[in-house]
Amino acid sequence: MIMCGIVGAINGSRVVNELLDGLKRLEYRGYDSAGLAVSHNNSILIRKAEGALSNLETKLDLSPVEGRIGIAHTRWATHGEPSIANAHPHRNDRVSVVHNGIIENYEELRACLEAEGFTFQSQTDTEVVPHLIASLMASGFSPEAAALEATKRLQGAYALGILFEGEEEFFCATRKGSPLAIGHGEEAMFIASDAIALAPMTQRVSYLENGDFAIVSQNGVCVRDENGTAVERPVEQSRASAESHEKGSYSHFMIKEIHEQPDILNHVFNVPVQKKQNCNMAYEDFESLSIVACGTSCYAGQIARYWFERYAGLRVDVDIASEYRYRHSPLPQKGAALFISQSGETADTLAALEHARLQGQTIISLVNVPESSIARASDHVIQTLAGPEIGVASTKAFTAQLAALARLVIAAGIARGTLSIRDARALKVELSRVPEIVSAALSLNGQIRAAASVLQNSQSALFIGRGVNWPLACEGALKLKEISYIHAEGLGAGELKHGPIALVDGNLPVVALAPPDELQEKTLSNIKEVQARGGQIILISDERTLSGLDFEPAATIAVSAELDAPFASDLVMPFLYSIPLQLLASETALKRGCDIDKPRNLAKSVTVE
Ligand code: M6R
């Protein structure tokens, strides 16, 4: 099983640079290996390399290839180790293939093809595809007819780019389940897993529908739908930016993205035109709201649950997308479902969205990529406006999601009559100050370094908080584990005594979030319980609380915000307390020598279930 990014190109001269440009912009889908194939002078030339795309570039420098037609791939492996043999393109003498998705019946197909005499070089499901096409060509099918016939025999999800040896006038592309965009250039045509990959080449993009089969040539594309009928898919003007993503003066994208947050939040809360974005839904008609997402996006949803219930009187369920469909939860007739996704391509979230649509829910999505699959499948789209997020660990997208959700909550509260205009205004005033307090929190370097030293050599850590700080603690734990490889768990502080406190000893750091709110006293007593058992506390709170402690934490991080409307505390604090958590994770990971932008085993966007 693989998830990955694919690109294909045909033009009048040379496609290798375009293929590499496309792959660079798809590395968020995986970086276990990369490869490309070009067809030239009647043969297919392939280059592959393990690890990041730069390794493939080095290989191409040493051993260049030329050609005006080609396909390329960046891989995230789940079936078959990351290795050259398992890297795409997969091939035989006649056909070469790149694939995003999973061929579920590959074992059965492989057994038949092996019986026919085909030999397999890899452990992947994908390799059955070139052999199946070659087998059909051997029985008399033309290349394109063989490719079409082969796809009819595949079960599972796929987006495929298919290149034929000796055929330099066209390649084939098809999709079912996995997304595929077609780029319409000047005497050049492209395919890619998304429009972002195509942005340096063309802004004119169409999207294949499920079951579509396309023949792509230099001057256009012929598409047939799943019934074999010729169809035209509308060409749209993509808004994906062609700008290359640079780190500027920062050492890592994650650090850069953490520091971009004040500007992004300022844009969301204080630029009038953005403030109005998409808040015109009939909130008063919704009986309840299901929020569905994965990872960090799900924690943003869990924080927003507290807000929706408190300020908008709206009952909210929050589910992780990979479980939502299997819960058989009866959904209300006038229910709405909100799908949160940075990438807009997360397969679990997209599948959950389709499930909710079948249950008659109004589909709202909150995405950072406006042309993503999730956005295109929604009734209402709200944009997070964070700009491209490159670091695998989500930071600015998380606080931008919170910002969009905070605005939505206020709009819903007003529409549903649970929030007076006066209180709504007070909340907005507090939110307008968020960029400034977040900016101040970015200069905590000394305290962050001291706290990271406590975590640096640990095997495990707990993160605790109450109320909105519980999901925020889970987000802090996720950040730490994904980039520093320290096991970490987020807990509601009140749950400690129900089991996890058994873990506490002198080697267990406990990161505690204790803002000055109505739950602070309870959180502080949970912290003392940990302290009494020898746990190493890293306490994140305001200066006044930290100066009045009657115990000594292993480290403290002081963040402060004076609120004029104290009832806004749970709305404002998650923005402020996110910052030390992000900095703590990145500093700890850097101290441990980890690659914080491309942590092992992960991909930015998880495009298989
Ligand atoms: O693109 P999405 O927001 O749908 O992605 C969801 C998760 O895969 C993502 O938040 C993941 O947990 C991040 N790596 C966390 O930093």
Domain of residue 555, CATH code: 3.40.50.10490
Same domain, residue pair 235 and 258: no
Could you read off the pLDDT of 487-544 as tens digits, one per residue? 999 999 999 999 999 999 999 999 999 999 999 999 999 999 999 999 999 999 999 9
295 CB less than 6 Å from ligand 1? yes
The rounded Å distance from CA 384 to ligand 1 centre is 14
The rounded Å distance from CA 574 to ligand 1 centre is 18
Query: Which of 291, 292, 294, 586 has the most ligand 1 atoms within 8 A of CB, as the residue to mutate?
Result: 294
159 CB less than 6 Å from ligand 1? no
Q: What is the largest CA-CA distance in the chain?
A: 84
Same domain, residue pair 210 and 150: yes
Distances (CA, A) of 291 to 200, 316, 318: 35, 7, 5
Same domain, residue pair 383 and 506: no
Same domain, residue pair 287 and 402: yes
Cα–Cα dist 76/82, whole Å: 8
In a domain, 438, yes or no: no
Residues marked active site are found at 4, 604
CATH number of the domain within which 106 lies: 3.60.20.10
Could you read off the pLDDT of 153-169 as tens digits, one per residue? 999 989 999 999 999 99
Tell whether the model's pLDDT for residue 79 goes beyond 70.
no
Token pair listed for 4: 């990955």
Same domain, residue pair 344 and 460: no
Domain boundary among 432, 457, 481: 432
- pLDDT value of residue 204: 96
Domain boundary among 432, 464, 483: 432
3-state secondary structure of 405: helix
Same domain, residue pair 260 and 150: no
In a domain, 247, yes or no: no
The rounded Å distance from CA 299 to ligand 1 centre is 10
Confidence of residue 288 (pLDDT cuts 50, 70, 90): confident
Reported pTM: 0.82
In a domain, 246, yes or no: no
Q: Which residues form the domain of 495? A: 443-597+605-609
Query: Which of 318, 320, 340, 343 has the most ligand 1 atoms within 8 A of CB, as the residue to mutate?
Result: 343
Confidence of residue 1 (pLDDT cuts 50, 70, 90): very low
In a domain, 437, yes or no: no
Mean pLDDT of 286-295: 92
Same domain, residue pair 395 and 450: no
Same domain, residue pair 77 and 141: yes
343 CA closest ligand 1 atom index = 1
Domain boundary among 241, 274, 293: 241
Query: Nearest residue CA, atom 4 of ligand 1?
Result: 341
Same domain, residue pair 183 and 322: no
Same domain, residue pair 371 and 339: yes
What is the DSSP secondary-structure string of 530-565? Answer: HHHTT-EEEEEE-HHHHHT-SS--SEEEE-----SS
Tell whether the model's pLDDT for residue 77 goes beyond 90.
no
295 CA closest ligand 1 atom index = 12
Same domain, residue pair 423 and 482: no
Same domain, residue pair 315 and 393: yes
Domains identified in the chain, total number: 3
384 CB less than 6 Å from ligand 1? no
392 CB less than 6 Å from ligand 1? yes
606 CB less than 6 Å from ligand 1? yes
